[in-house]
Amino acid sequence: MPTSFTLHQNQVAVQPASLPMPAGELVIRFHSAADQPANGITAGPAGEVSLVIEAGSPVLLVSLGKPDKLIVDTYRQAGGKLADWLLKHPTRQASLDAEQIGDAELAAFCEGVLLNAFRFERYKQKDAVDLCTIYIRAENRLTDATKIVTHANRLVDAVNLERDWAHEPANRINPVTLAERAIELAETLGIKCTILDDHELNAMGAGAITAVGKGSQTPSRMIVMEYPGRGNGVGTLPVTLVGKAITFDTGGYSLKDSVNIREMKYDKCGGLNVLAIMKAAVDLQLETPLIGVVCAAENMISGGAYRPDDILTSLSGKTIEIITTDAEGRLVLADGLTYVQRNFKSRSVIDMATLTGGVVTALGRVRAGLMSNDDELSAQLSAAGEATHERLWRLPLDEDYFAQIKGDDADIKNSGGKEAHPVIGGMFLKQFVEEGTKWAHLDIAGVADVPKDMPYSQKGATGFGIRLIVNYLEGLE
Protein backbone atom coordinates (compact mmCIF):
# COMPACT_ATOMS: atom_id res chain seq x y z
CA MET A 1 0.00 0.00 0.00
CA PRO A 2 1.25 3.52 -0.69
CA THR A 3 2.61 5.35 2.34
CA SER A 4 0.47 8.28 3.41
CA PHE A 5 1.92 11.65 2.46
CA THR A 6 -0.04 13.59 5.10
CA LEU A 7 1.88 16.69 6.08
CA HIS A 8 3.06 17.00 9.65
CA GLN A 9 0.68 19.45 11.29
CA ASN A 10 2.22 22.74 12.33
CA GLN A 11 1.14 24.09 15.68
CA VAL A 12 0.99 27.71 14.50
CA ALA A 13 -1.37 28.81 11.72
CA VAL A 14 -1.82 32.16 9.97
CA GLN A 15 -5.27 33.30 8.88
CA PRO A 16 -6.74 36.55 7.54
CA ALA A 17 -9.39 38.11 9.77
CA SER A 18 -12.43 40.07 8.63
CA LEU A 19 -13.80 40.77 12.13
CA PRO A 20 -12.52 43.45 14.54
CA MET A 21 -9.99 42.44 17.16
CA PRO A 22 -11.68 41.15 20.33
CA ALA A 23 -10.84 42.86 23.62
CA GLY A 24 -7.84 41.40 25.42
CA GLU A 25 -6.44 39.53 22.40
CA LEU A 26 -2.66 39.15 22.33
CA VAL A 27 -1.40 41.83 19.93
CA ILE A 28 1.78 41.57 17.86
CA ARG A 29 3.65 44.80 17.20
CA PHE A 30 7.00 45.42 15.54
CA HIS A 31 9.59 47.80 16.96
CA SER A 32 13.18 48.66 16.12
CA ALA A 33 16.23 50.08 17.82
CA ALA A 34 15.23 53.53 16.50
CA ASP A 35 11.94 53.55 18.42
CA GLN A 36 11.43 54.90 21.88
CA PRO A 37 11.58 52.12 24.50
CA ALA A 38 8.17 50.50 25.03
CA ASN A 39 7.49 49.86 28.72
CA GLY A 40 11.20 50.35 29.26
CA ILE A 41 12.11 47.71 26.65
CA THR A 42 14.52 48.67 23.88
CA ALA A 43 14.50 46.60 20.70
CA GLY A 44 17.26 44.02 20.66
CA PRO A 45 18.42 41.72 17.83
CA ALA A 46 16.01 41.02 14.99
CA GLY A 47 13.36 38.55 16.08
CA GLU A 48 13.69 39.14 19.82
CA VAL A 49 10.23 38.82 21.41
CA SER A 50 9.12 40.63 24.58
CA LEU A 51 5.74 40.37 26.31
CA VAL A 52 4.47 43.62 27.84
CA ILE A 53 1.15 44.94 29.14
CA GLU A 54 -0.18 48.12 27.58
CA ALA A 55 -3.46 49.67 28.75
CA GLY A 56 -4.30 46.40 30.44
CA SER A 57 -3.82 44.31 27.28
CA PRO A 58 -0.97 41.93 26.45
CA VAL A 59 1.35 42.99 23.61
CA LEU A 60 4.12 40.98 21.95
CA LEU A 61 6.90 43.32 20.86
CA VAL A 62 8.86 41.74 18.01
CA SER A 63 12.18 43.41 17.31
CA LEU A 64 13.30 44.31 13.80
CA GLY A 65 16.79 45.11 15.02
CA LYS A 66 18.79 48.06 13.70
CA PRO A 67 17.00 50.17 11.06
CA ASP A 68 20.07 50.33 8.82
CA LYS A 69 20.10 46.50 8.67
CA LEU A 70 16.38 46.18 7.92
CA ILE A 71 15.54 44.17 4.78
CA VAL A 72 12.47 42.19 3.75
CA ASP A 73 14.03 38.98 5.09
CA THR A 74 14.17 40.61 8.54
CA TYR A 75 10.38 40.16 8.67
CA ARG A 76 10.80 36.50 7.75
CA GLN A 77 13.28 36.13 10.60
CA ALA A 78 10.94 37.98 12.95
CA GLY A 79 8.08 35.65 12.02
CA GLY A 80 10.26 32.63 12.63
CA LYS A 81 11.37 33.80 16.05
CA LEU A 82 7.78 34.64 16.93
CA ALA A 83 6.72 31.09 16.04
CA ASP A 84 9.42 29.82 18.42
CA TRP A 85 8.05 32.02 21.21
CA LEU A 86 4.45 30.93 20.62
CA LEU A 87 5.40 27.26 20.68
CA LYS A 88 7.19 27.71 23.99
CA HIS A 89 4.40 29.83 25.51
CA PRO A 90 1.12 28.08 24.61
CA THR A 91 -1.25 30.64 23.13
CA ARG A 92 -4.59 30.10 21.42
CA GLN A 93 -4.54 33.19 19.23
CA ALA A 94 -2.71 36.42 18.51
CA SER A 95 -3.31 39.29 16.15
CA LEU A 96 -1.18 41.40 13.80
CA ASP A 97 -2.39 44.69 12.36
CA ALA A 98 -0.97 44.46 8.82
CA GLU A 99 -1.42 48.18 8.26
CA GLN A 100 1.98 48.72 9.88
CA ILE A 101 3.88 46.93 7.07
CA GLY A 102 3.85 46.56 3.27
CA ASP A 103 2.79 43.60 1.14
CA ALA A 104 6.29 42.13 0.68
CA GLU A 105 6.98 42.42 4.41
CA LEU A 106 3.65 40.79 5.29
CA ALA A 107 4.35 37.88 2.94
CA ALA A 108 7.81 37.40 4.44
CA PHE A 109 6.46 37.53 7.99
CA CYS A 110 3.81 34.90 7.26
CA GLU A 111 6.38 32.66 5.56
CA GLY A 112 8.72 32.96 8.54
CA VAL A 113 6.00 32.01 11.02
CA LEU A 114 4.90 28.98 9.01
CA LEU A 115 8.41 27.81 8.16
CA ASN A 116 9.64 27.87 11.74
CA ALA A 117 6.46 26.37 13.14
CA PHE A 118 7.43 23.13 11.41
CA ARG A 119 8.56 20.32 13.69
CA PHE A 120 9.33 16.74 12.73
CA GLU A 121 8.12 14.80 15.74
CA ARG A 122 6.28 11.91 14.15
CA TYR A 123 8.28 9.30 16.03
CA LYS A 124 8.23 11.02 19.44
CA GLN A 125 5.76 10.31 22.19
CA LYS A 126 4.38 13.76 22.93
CA ASP A 127 1.22 15.26 24.35
CA ALA A 128 -1.09 17.00 21.92
CA VAL A 129 -0.53 20.74 21.60
CA ASP A 130 -3.31 23.21 20.90
CA LEU A 131 -3.07 25.09 17.63
CA CYS A 132 -2.17 28.77 17.88
CA THR A 133 -3.67 30.97 15.18
CA ILE A 134 -2.23 34.34 14.21
CA TYR A 135 -4.96 36.51 12.71
CA ILE A 136 -3.86 39.08 10.14
CA ARG A 137 -6.06 42.15 10.42
CA ALA A 138 -5.98 44.64 7.55
CA GLU A 139 -9.11 46.75 7.61
CA ASN A 140 -8.17 48.92 4.65
CA ARG A 141 -6.69 46.19 2.43
CA LEU A 142 -8.26 42.95 3.58
CA THR A 143 -8.61 41.55 0.03
CA ASP A 144 -4.91 41.99 -0.72
CA ALA A 145 -3.89 40.73 2.70
CA THR A 146 -6.07 37.64 2.26
CA LYS A 147 -4.32 36.86 -1.05
CA ILE A 148 -0.92 37.26 0.58
CA VAL A 149 -1.78 35.05 3.54
CA THR A 150 -3.37 32.38 1.32
CA HIS A 151 -0.30 32.36 -0.94
CA ALA A 152 2.05 32.02 2.04
CA ASN A 153 0.06 29.14 3.49
CA ARG A 154 -0.03 27.21 0.21
CA LEU A 155 3.62 27.87 -0.59
CA VAL A 156 4.90 26.88 2.84
CA ASP A 157 2.65 23.80 2.85
CA ALA A 158 4.70 22.60 -0.11
CA VAL A 159 8.03 23.54 1.51
CA ASN A 160 7.09 21.75 4.72
CA LEU A 161 5.98 18.66 2.83
CA GLU A 162 9.52 18.48 1.41
CA ARG A 163 11.02 18.94 4.87
CA ASP A 164 8.69 16.33 6.35
CA TRP A 165 9.74 13.71 3.80
CA ALA A 166 13.40 14.76 3.94
CA HIS A 167 13.50 13.97 7.66
CA GLU A 168 12.18 10.46 7.05
CA PRO A 169 15.04 7.95 7.36
CA ALA A 170 16.02 5.39 4.75
CA ASN A 171 14.09 2.60 6.47
CA ARG A 172 10.95 4.67 5.77
CA ILE A 173 11.72 6.20 2.37
CA ASN A 174 13.65 4.35 -0.32
CA PRO A 175 13.30 4.65 -4.11
CA VAL A 176 10.33 2.28 -4.20
CA THR A 177 8.36 3.82 -1.33
CA LEU A 178 9.18 7.31 -2.61
CA ALA A 179 7.63 6.36 -5.93
CA GLU A 180 4.53 5.14 -4.07
CA ARG A 181 4.27 8.42 -2.20
CA ALA A 182 4.67 10.33 -5.46
CA ILE A 183 1.79 8.39 -7.02
CA GLU A 184 -0.46 9.20 -4.08
CA LEU A 185 0.58 12.85 -4.13
CA ALA A 186 -0.11 13.12 -7.88
CA GLU A 187 -3.52 11.51 -7.45
CA THR A 188 -4.39 14.04 -4.77
CA LEU A 189 -3.18 16.91 -6.94
CA GLY A 190 -4.94 15.57 -10.03
CA ILE A 191 -1.85 15.45 -12.24
CA LYS A 192 -0.17 12.72 -14.27
CA CYS A 193 2.55 10.60 -12.69
CA THR A 194 4.59 7.92 -14.46
CA ILE A 195 7.00 5.60 -12.66
CA LEU A 196 9.85 4.01 -14.61
CA ASP A 197 11.12 0.97 -12.69
CA ASP A 198 14.57 -0.59 -12.92
CA HIS A 199 13.45 -3.04 -15.63
CA GLU A 200 12.16 -0.23 -17.84
CA LEU A 201 15.23 1.88 -17.15
CA ASN A 202 17.53 -1.01 -18.08
CA ALA A 203 15.52 -1.72 -21.22
CA MET A 204 15.84 1.87 -22.41
CA GLY A 205 19.58 1.90 -21.72
CA ALA A 206 19.67 4.11 -18.61
CA GLY A 207 22.77 2.39 -17.29
CA ALA A 208 23.93 5.21 -15.01
CA ILE A 209 20.94 5.48 -12.67
CA THR A 210 20.48 1.71 -12.51
CA ALA A 211 24.17 1.15 -11.68
CA VAL A 212 23.91 3.39 -8.63
CA GLY A 213 21.02 1.33 -7.28
CA LYS A 214 22.54 -2.10 -7.90
CA GLY A 215 23.96 -2.40 -4.41
CA SER A 216 20.59 -1.84 -2.75
CA GLN A 217 17.70 -4.20 -2.08
CA THR A 218 15.42 -1.42 -3.36
CA PRO A 219 16.21 -0.71 -7.02
CA SER A 220 16.23 2.66 -8.76
CA ARG A 221 13.14 4.52 -9.88
CA MET A 222 12.55 7.51 -12.16
CA ILE A 223 9.44 9.49 -11.23
CA VAL A 224 7.88 11.70 -13.91
CA MET A 225 5.12 14.21 -13.07
CA GLU A 226 3.32 16.47 -15.54
CA TYR A 227 1.42 19.65 -14.67
CA PRO A 228 -0.41 21.15 -17.67
CA GLY A 229 -0.47 24.73 -16.41
CA ARG A 230 -3.43 27.08 -16.07
CA GLY A 231 -5.00 29.89 -18.09
CA ASN A 232 -2.70 31.39 -20.69
CA GLY A 233 -0.02 28.85 -19.87
CA VAL A 234 -1.93 25.83 -21.16
CA GLY A 235 -0.30 24.57 -24.36
CA THR A 236 2.93 26.54 -23.91
CA LEU A 237 6.35 24.99 -23.42
CA PRO A 238 6.90 23.64 -19.90
CA VAL A 239 9.72 24.34 -17.51
CA THR A 240 11.34 21.02 -16.67
CA LEU A 241 12.75 20.26 -13.22
CA VAL A 242 15.10 17.35 -12.57
CA GLY A 243 16.00 16.37 -9.01
CA LYS A 244 18.49 14.04 -7.40
CA ALA A 245 16.90 11.75 -4.80
CA ILE A 246 19.55 9.49 -3.30
CA THR A 247 17.46 8.15 -0.44
CA PHE A 248 20.64 7.18 1.40
CA ASP A 249 24.24 7.59 0.36
CA THR A 250 26.89 5.39 1.92
CA GLY A 251 29.35 6.44 -0.75
CA GLY A 252 29.29 2.87 -2.06
CA TYR A 253 32.71 1.18 -2.18
CA SER A 254 34.22 4.68 -1.91
CA LEU A 255 32.76 4.53 1.59
CA LYS A 256 32.10 7.68 3.57
CA ASP A 257 33.66 7.94 7.03
CA SER A 258 31.63 7.58 10.22
CA VAL A 259 31.06 11.35 10.46
CA ASN A 260 30.10 12.13 6.87
CA ILE A 261 27.80 9.12 6.52
CA ARG A 262 25.48 10.67 9.10
CA GLU A 263 22.43 12.56 7.85
CA MET A 264 22.77 11.18 4.33
CA LYS A 265 18.99 10.83 4.38
CA TYR A 266 19.07 14.47 3.23
CA ASP A 267 20.72 13.46 -0.04
CA LYS A 268 17.21 13.16 -1.49
CA CYS A 269 16.34 16.84 -1.02
CA GLY A 270 16.80 17.88 -4.67
CA GLY A 271 14.27 15.29 -5.81
CA LEU A 272 11.87 16.13 -2.99
CA ASN A 273 12.08 19.78 -4.04
CA VAL A 274 10.72 18.77 -7.43
CA LEU A 275 7.72 17.01 -5.86
CA ALA A 276 7.06 19.97 -3.57
CA ILE A 277 7.20 22.45 -6.46
CA MET A 278 4.65 20.35 -8.36
CA LYS A 279 2.37 20.57 -5.32
CA ALA A 280 2.89 24.32 -5.06
CA ALA A 281 2.15 24.76 -8.77
CA VAL A 282 -1.21 23.02 -8.41
CA ASP A 283 -2.17 24.70 -5.13
CA LEU A 284 -1.18 28.16 -6.36
CA GLN A 285 -2.61 27.52 -9.85
CA LEU A 286 0.56 28.65 -11.60
CA GLU A 287 0.13 29.31 -15.30
CA THR A 288 3.43 27.80 -16.47
CA PRO A 289 3.30 24.07 -17.32
CA LEU A 290 5.82 21.90 -15.50
CA ILE A 291 7.55 18.57 -15.99
CA GLY A 292 9.05 17.17 -12.80
CA VAL A 293 11.51 14.28 -12.92
CA VAL A 294 12.90 12.67 -9.77
CA CYS A 295 15.92 10.38 -10.18
CA ALA A 296 15.78 8.06 -7.17
CA ALA A 297 18.35 5.50 -6.07
CA GLU A 298 19.99 4.20 -2.90
CA ASN A 299 23.80 4.05 -2.95
CA MET A 300 24.72 0.95 -0.96
CA ILE A 301 27.37 -1.79 -0.86
CA SER A 302 26.78 -5.43 -1.77
CA GLY A 303 28.05 -8.10 -4.12
CA GLY A 304 26.08 -6.45 -6.92
CA ALA A 305 27.19 -2.87 -6.29
CA TYR A 306 29.09 -0.92 -8.90
CA ARG A 307 32.80 -0.31 -8.30
CA PRO A 308 35.59 2.17 -9.00
CA ASP A 309 37.01 1.53 -12.48
CA ASP A 310 33.67 0.23 -13.78
CA ILE A 311 32.57 1.67 -17.11
CA LEU A 312 28.88 2.49 -17.48
CA THR A 313 26.85 3.31 -20.55
CA SER A 314 24.45 6.16 -19.87
CA LEU A 315 21.07 6.73 -21.52
CA SER A 316 22.72 9.28 -23.81
CA GLY A 317 25.12 6.62 -25.10
CA LYS A 318 28.11 8.33 -23.49
CA THR A 319 30.31 5.97 -21.50
CA ILE A 320 31.36 6.90 -17.97
CA GLU A 321 34.49 5.74 -16.17
CA ILE A 322 33.87 5.44 -12.43
CA ILE A 323 36.59 7.12 -10.42
CA THR A 324 34.60 7.15 -7.20
CA THR A 325 31.27 5.56 -6.34
CA ASP A 326 30.64 8.55 -4.07
CA ALA A 327 30.01 10.78 -7.10
CA GLU A 328 26.71 9.03 -7.74
CA GLY A 329 24.32 11.98 -7.86
CA ARG A 330 25.64 13.21 -11.19
CA LEU A 331 25.13 9.71 -12.62
CA VAL A 332 21.41 9.57 -11.84
CA LEU A 333 20.97 13.16 -13.06
CA ALA A 334 22.80 12.38 -16.32
CA ASP A 335 20.13 9.85 -17.25
CA GLY A 336 17.37 12.13 -15.99
CA LEU A 337 18.60 15.02 -18.14
CA THR A 338 18.81 12.80 -21.21
CA TYR A 339 15.33 11.39 -20.58
CA VAL A 340 13.62 14.78 -20.37
CA GLN A 341 15.36 16.13 -23.47
CA ARG A 342 14.35 13.06 -25.47
CA ASN A 343 10.76 13.06 -24.33
CA PHE A 344 9.81 16.71 -23.78
CA LYS A 345 10.46 20.03 -25.48
CA SER A 346 11.11 22.49 -22.66
CA ARG A 347 11.29 26.21 -22.14
CA SER A 348 14.17 25.57 -19.74
CA VAL A 349 15.62 22.64 -17.80
CA ILE A 350 16.67 23.16 -14.19
CA ASP A 351 18.25 20.47 -12.04
CA MET A 352 18.58 20.57 -8.26
CA ALA A 353 20.90 18.38 -6.26
CA THR A 354 22.88 18.05 -3.05
CA LEU A 355 25.75 17.34 -5.40
CA THR A 356 29.13 18.25 -3.90
CA GLY A 357 30.82 18.86 -0.58
CA GLY A 358 32.96 21.30 -2.52
CA VAL A 359 30.13 23.80 -2.82
CA VAL A 360 29.88 23.84 0.99
CA THR A 361 33.59 24.65 1.16
CA ALA A 362 33.19 27.38 -1.46
CA LEU A 363 29.93 29.03 -0.37
CA GLY A 364 29.20 27.69 3.11
CA ARG A 365 25.59 27.53 4.20
CA VAL A 366 24.59 30.94 2.87
CA ARG A 367 24.24 30.51 -0.90
CA ALA A 368 23.72 27.64 -3.32
CA GLY A 369 25.92 27.21 -6.37
CA LEU A 370 24.45 28.09 -9.76
CA MET A 371 25.89 26.89 -13.05
CA SER A 372 24.19 27.55 -16.37
CA ASN A 373 24.70 27.69 -20.13
CA ASP A 374 22.26 30.61 -20.47
CA ASP A 375 22.77 34.13 -19.12
CA GLU A 376 19.07 35.04 -19.16
CA LEU A 377 18.04 31.95 -17.22
CA SER A 378 20.88 32.49 -14.78
CA ALA A 379 19.80 36.11 -14.21
CA GLN A 380 16.15 35.10 -13.69
CA LEU A 381 17.05 32.46 -11.12
CA SER A 382 19.47 34.79 -9.34
CA ALA A 383 16.79 37.50 -9.11
CA ALA A 384 14.29 34.99 -7.73
CA GLY A 385 16.88 33.91 -5.20
CA GLU A 386 17.41 37.46 -4.00
CA ALA A 387 13.65 38.04 -3.79
CA THR A 388 13.08 34.95 -1.62
CA HIS A 389 16.41 35.14 0.26
CA GLU A 390 17.28 31.71 -1.16
CA ARG A 391 20.38 33.20 -2.68
CA LEU A 392 22.57 31.80 -5.46
CA TRP A 393 26.12 32.42 -6.62
CA ARG A 394 27.02 31.72 -10.23
CA LEU A 395 30.11 29.60 -10.78
CA PRO A 396 32.02 29.28 -14.08
CA LEU A 397 31.70 26.49 -16.62
CA ASP A 398 34.66 27.25 -18.89
CA GLU A 399 35.42 24.43 -21.31
CA ASP A 400 38.95 24.28 -19.87
CA TYR A 401 37.51 22.43 -16.86
CA PHE A 402 36.54 19.46 -19.03
CA ALA A 403 40.18 18.35 -19.14
CA GLN A 404 39.82 17.17 -15.53
CA ILE A 405 37.11 14.66 -16.44
CA LYS A 406 38.15 13.60 -19.92
CA GLY A 407 38.08 9.80 -19.82
CA ASP A 408 41.09 7.53 -20.10
CA ASP A 409 39.21 4.37 -21.05
CA ALA A 410 35.73 5.89 -21.57
CA ASP A 411 34.18 9.12 -22.84
CA ILE A 412 34.12 10.82 -19.46
CA LYS A 413 35.14 10.32 -15.83
CA ASN A 414 32.66 10.86 -13.03
CA SER A 415 35.17 12.77 -10.91
CA GLY A 416 38.07 15.13 -11.45
CA GLY A 417 39.50 15.20 -7.93
CA LYS A 418 39.28 17.99 -5.37
CA GLU A 419 40.22 20.91 -7.58
CA ALA A 420 37.21 23.03 -8.60
CA HIS A 421 35.01 20.31 -7.11
CA PRO A 422 31.54 21.94 -7.50
CA VAL A 423 32.42 23.27 -10.95
CA ILE A 424 33.48 19.81 -12.10
CA GLY A 425 30.11 18.43 -10.94
CA GLY A 426 28.38 21.00 -13.12
CA MET A 427 30.78 20.38 -16.01
CA PHE A 428 29.96 16.67 -15.87
CA LEU A 429 26.23 17.39 -16.10
CA LYS A 430 26.79 19.84 -18.93
CA GLN A 431 28.00 16.94 -21.10
CA PHE A 432 24.45 15.59 -21.05
CA VAL A 433 22.79 18.87 -22.06
CA GLU A 434 22.00 19.05 -25.75
CA GLU A 435 22.71 22.04 -27.98
CA GLY A 436 19.85 24.54 -27.76
CA THR A 437 18.64 23.46 -24.32
CA LYS A 438 18.52 26.29 -21.77
CA TRP A 439 19.84 24.63 -18.63
CA ALA A 440 20.76 25.53 -15.07
CA HIS A 441 22.20 23.42 -12.27
CA LEU A 442 21.62 24.31 -8.61
CA ASP A 443 24.04 22.65 -6.19
CA ILE A 444 22.16 22.92 -2.89
CA ALA A 445 24.46 20.69 -0.81
CA GLY A 446 25.29 23.45 1.67
CA VAL A 447 21.77 24.80 2.15
CA ALA A 448 19.37 21.87 1.81
CA ASP A 449 19.80 21.12 5.51
CA VAL A 450 21.35 23.00 8.40
CA PRO A 451 23.24 21.61 11.44
CA LYS A 452 21.59 23.97 13.94
CA ASP A 453 18.43 26.00 14.39
CA MET A 454 18.20 29.08 12.18
CA PRO A 455 15.81 32.07 12.45
CA TYR A 456 13.11 30.38 10.35
CA SER A 457 14.33 26.80 10.03
CA GLN A 458 14.85 24.23 12.70
CA LYS A 459 17.89 21.95 12.53
CA GLY A 460 17.53 19.64 9.54
CA ALA A 461 15.89 20.09 6.15
CA THR A 462 15.20 23.65 4.97
CA GLY A 463 13.36 23.13 1.66
CA PHE A 464 15.83 25.56 0.05
CA GLY A 465 15.03 26.19 -3.59
CA ILE A 466 11.27 25.65 -3.56
CA ARG A 467 10.30 29.26 -2.84
CA LEU A 468 13.00 30.37 -5.28
CA ILE A 469 11.70 28.25 -8.18
CA VAL A 470 8.08 29.20 -7.49
CA ASN A 471 9.08 32.87 -7.59
CA TYR A 472 10.90 32.27 -10.90
CA LEU A 473 7.82 30.53 -12.35
CA GLU A 474 5.51 33.32 -11.21
CA GLY A 475 7.82 35.79 -12.94
CA LEU A 476 7.24 33.99 -16.24
CA GLU A 477 3.48 34.56 -16.12
The candidate with the shortest Cα–Cα distance to 271, out of 312, 241, 236, is 241
Q: How far apart are CA 320 and CA 408, in angstroms?
A: 10
- Assign 150 a pLDDT band (cuts: 50, 70, 90): very high
**pTM (predicted TM-score):** 0.95
Would you state the pLDDT for residue 22? 64
- Assign 25 a pLDDT band (cuts: 50, 70, 90): confident
Q: Work out the mean pLDDT of the chain and round it to a whole number.
A: 93
- Tell me what the mean pLDDT of segment 417-421 comes to: 94
Q: What angle do CA 107, 159, 19 make, to 5 degrees?
A: 40
- Tell me what the mean pLDDT of segment 341-354 comes to: 98
Would you state the pLDDT for residue 414? 98
The answer to whether 216 and 298 are in contact (CB under 8 A) is yes
Would you state the pLDDT for residue 20? 63
Would you state the pLDDT for residue 441? 98
- pLDDT tens, 225-278? 999 999 999 999 999 999 999 999 999 999 999 999 999 999 999 999 999 999
Q: Which residue has the higher pLDDT, 22 or 29?
A: 29
Would you state the pLDDT for residue 158? 98
147 pLDDT higher than 80 = yes
- Tell me what the mean pLDDT of segment 201-222 comes to: 98
436 pLDDT higher than 70 = yes
Would you state the pLDDT for residue 244? 98
b/e per residue 54-75 (b: at least 16 CB within 10 A)? eeeeebbbbbbbeeeebebbbb
Q: CA of 72: how far to CAs of 64, 148, 431, in Å?
A: 10, 15, 39
- The residues assigned a catalytic role are 256, 330
Would you state the pLDDT for residue 23? 62
Would you state the pLDDT for residue 10? 55
